[in-house]
Amino acid sequence: LASATGHEIGSLLADLHRSGLTLVLVTHNPDIAARYAERTVELVDGRLADNGLAPSSAPVRFEVSR
């Protein structure tokens, strides 16, 4: 996305989140994820590399349906 368009979309998503919606954003750009997300989850080669929780937090269970 162009910078201006990306900012507009980010603002729209932030507004939707503030209204109470839970959003899932998938991006290859970690800067965008850091800018707009409260929590990020990182996948590397299809595997969970970072679940966005502090190391002492309980593990997160993910299920993938195919």
The pLDDT tens digits of the residues spanning 41-51 come to: 888 888 888 87
Question: 50 forms bridges with which residues in the sheet?
Answer: 42
Q: Which two tokens stand for residue 19?
A: 């209204």
Strand, helix or coil for residue 29: coil
Q: Which residues contact 31 (CB under 8 A, 6 or more apart)?
A: none
Residue 61: the pLDDT is: 59
Torsion on CA atoms 6, 43, 52, 7, rounded to nearest 10: 0
pLDDT in tens, 21-62: 988 888 888 888 888 888 888 888 888 888 777 665 555 555
Query: pTM, whole model, 2 decimals?
Result: 0.56
Joined tokens for residue 38: 């409260």
